[in-house]
Structure 1
């Protein structure tokens, strides 16, 4: 069997987004093609663009960020597929995250939190940040709302190739103090969101009560270690890699591409505490809702809720149903099933483990609750979503 020699110039491979992109590439070529991935001088399966100047391979999946990158790839006589959002790469076949939709989705979510003040935080000079900001602001304007922008200069951490969004919390203190509270903030990435929430902590601002924040990337480390666990939009980086690999495979086989430029929409919003704007005329109902949502992966029942909301069950059930539209038990099951849906999409765990990790004592009860709420089994849901 003749193996194709393919180079992965995914310079952001150290980050969660880059790793998911690479997973998509791996998923494709393991099932569809015979590839051998090119190693760098340190025998690692990643290269920088300049490493390919004299390389005699068959194809490249890369991230184009600079004019130097463009010049290097133009000299190669092999197919190159770009996966960055940089407009310098417009002449190359590209698969990109739909950043405008990400920004719009963030705005819609914060609007649903019933906020009146909004801000966007991110660095200057990066195409994907600009596109996310544009989508965010446009959606707010369509809803009749304004947006304050907090921008700073991106740091260059990889020579000429990649600029880092990292910002120190201290650099954001003044801008955050000037915002009208409560405010809904979109951070250009989870790394930026983590810094914003650290600045909030230093200023004594509460999240979500004073600052409701949504990030991008659904990076588990940043989201779950943040001052207030961070709601985040999950881009479909895996499909970016998968589609890019399919495009490269066609190009290396001499086929033409029907669609040389593809935008991949985000998967969903992963809801966490930083936008949990649970509001009620009864503080007890708000506390009950927050407790249920914070225990989406644990078995709880109504008695556990009453342990943290020490009022009579009848009174709480009555007020809860009046505010939410259904009872406490139904809300517990709804939140558990929502968590199960996420696990079904993001893991390859068997249904029995998904049930356990979603707060169900046994698989039978999980299957019953899932079928009742979604009118399909967990297995059928996973299969349909995978096809989509």
Structure 2
């Protein structure tokens, strides 16, 4: 039986989902693992040495935790205790980290907003925190590569403050200064929630409307935070439970063979869950905005260009020209890309290929497979198998 100490913030869904993954692994291998949860206050009040003393008294095999990079984590190894760091501020080089491709998460956020027609982008996070810095980098570089005319702004808090603490007045002033409509990606759901609070702080007519003025996207898809927010927050989902499963598997391998390489565990971003905070299709051209809104609201149906022409007072040729200039792609290709992305999202959510095809109105699965391969480099079945592999 493995004895695991978990030193983290259990008010966050990220930690709870890691714990679920660890429990799932223990169940899968038929072992009764002991999981002891420790509050971060022990580390903050008494220091890392107190955590080590507790681990020794409880005969812990491993400690998973949020550690400061000044913590002497090598002391665990000297006492025969496996140590794994949950992403906190910076990655460790001497012990495995539970981390992720954060640049990719930022890239996914930027692409999501770009498809909605935004031309103004911003990022809100915390400086010198690895997951915030790398998400901002991926977001910023993707925005700049998409179109040189797109604008980008960032507000990053100082790490001397607690991650949950923020200056409301500074945030409100920054939000009011941004060109509108603007798409903001926050480094996580807590920071996205700060934005929704700040938007309600404006005096009188100074309040900022979500999503009309500001569209907000978080990361982690913490259901409690996302649904507590008004309006409800859209968020980038990550396969956190699988990360917990992989951590448990790594610990089990090390316990069986101490020579096992200490490798980082990567928590993969999967898809974006759209809620009210990004439920808008922005474009300076009101006719293109109307067309975008119609496409996304009716994506499960077969949409023709002629159908879109009827929505706006433009000829087919003029609509196609203005759409291509605004979105950088043809109407047909945009609809196809959006449909394929929706299929991928449904597959991530557990649908079979045939169920996703029916949901999106594809009558020919072979044709869907061909188009999906062109967009994603693999068939829907291969994509679904890869998702299942990551989950299990």
TM-score by shorter chain over 0.5: yes
Q: Which residue of 2 aligns with 1:43?
A: none
Structure 1: give runs of 5+ residues left out of the alignment.
41-45, 156-162
Give runs of aligned pairs for residues 335-374 of structure 1, distance below 5 A.
338-347=341-350, 358=359, 370-371=368-369, 373-374=371-372
**Does the Cα contact within 8 Å between 1:232 and 1:270 map onto a contact in 2?**
yes
The alignment status of 1:20 with 2:17, answered yes or no, reads: yes
The alignment status of 1:151 with 2:157, answered yes or no, reads: yes
Distance 1:112 1:210, change over 3 A: same
Give runs of aligned pairs for residues 204-353 of structure 1, distance below 5 A.
204-223=207-226, 226-227=229-230, 230-258=233-261, 260-270=263-273, 274=278, 276-279=280-283, 281=285, 283=286, 286-294=289-297, 323=323, 325=330, 331=335, 338-347=341-350
Distance 1:257 1:232, change over 3 A: same
Distance 1:248 1:86, change over 3 A: farther
Query: May I ask how many residue pairs the two structures share in their alignment?
Result: 359
The alignment status of 1:64 with 2:79, answered yes or no, reads: no
Q: Tell me the TM-score normalized by structure 2.
A: 0.68
The alignment status of 1:37 with 2:45, answered yes or no, reads: no
Give runs of aligned pairs for residues 149-188 of structure 1, distance below 5 A.
149-151=155-157, 163-165=162-164, 167=166, 172-188=171-187
Q: Which residue of 2 aligns with 1:192?
A: 191
Q: Which residue of 2 aligns with 1:159?
A: none
Shift of the alpha carbon at 1:276?
4.4
**Does the Cα contact within 8 Å between 2:168 and 2:198 map onto a contact in 1?**
yes
Quote the Cα distance in structure 2 between the aligned partners of 1:111 and 1:313: 22
Range 114-123 or range 8-17, more displaced: 114-123
- CA deviation vs aligned residue, 1:325-356 (integer Å, no higher than 9, x gap): 557xx95x975664443232234x66787678
Quote the Cα distance in structure 1 between the aligned partners of 2:65 and 2:153: 34
Distance 1:131 1:383, change over 3 A: closer
**Does the Cα contact within 8 Å between 2:309 and 2:315 map onto a contact in 1?**
no
Distance 1:287 1:186, change over 3 A: same
Distance 1:37 1:47, change over 3 A: farther
Q: Which residue of 2 aligns with 1:382?
A: 384
Q: Which residue of 1 aligns with 2:38?
A: 47
Shift of the alpha carbon at 1:170?
5.7
Quote the Cα distance in structure 1 between the aligned partners of 2:131 and 2:363: 43
Quote the Cα distance in structure 1 between the aligned partners of 2:340 and 2:116: 22
The 3-state SS of whatever aligns with 2:32 is strand
**Does the Cα contact within 8 Å between 1:239 and 1:264 map onto a contact in 2?**
yes
Quote the Cα distance in structure 1 between the aligned partners of 2:77 and 2:97: 15
Structure 2: give runs of 5+ residues left out of the alignment.
43-50, 324-328
Range 165-174 or range 238-247, more displaced: 165-174
- CA deviation vs aligned residue, 1:215-252 (integer Å, no higher than 9, x gap): 22233444466455544333342343233222212211
Distance 1:194 1:369, change over 3 A: farther
Match of 2:125 among 122, 125, 138: 122
Quote the Cα distance in structure 2 between the aligned partners of 1:52 and 1:228: 43
Quote the Cα distance in structure 1 between the aligned partners of 2:168 and 2:356: 37
**Does the Cα contact within 8 Å between 2:164 and 2:190 map onto a contact in 1?**
yes
Give me the CA root mean square deviation: 4.6
Shift of the alpha carbon at 1:9?
0.7
Match of 2:100 among 97, 108, 112: 97
Quote the Cα distance in structure 2 between the aligned partners of 1:214 and 1:310: 31
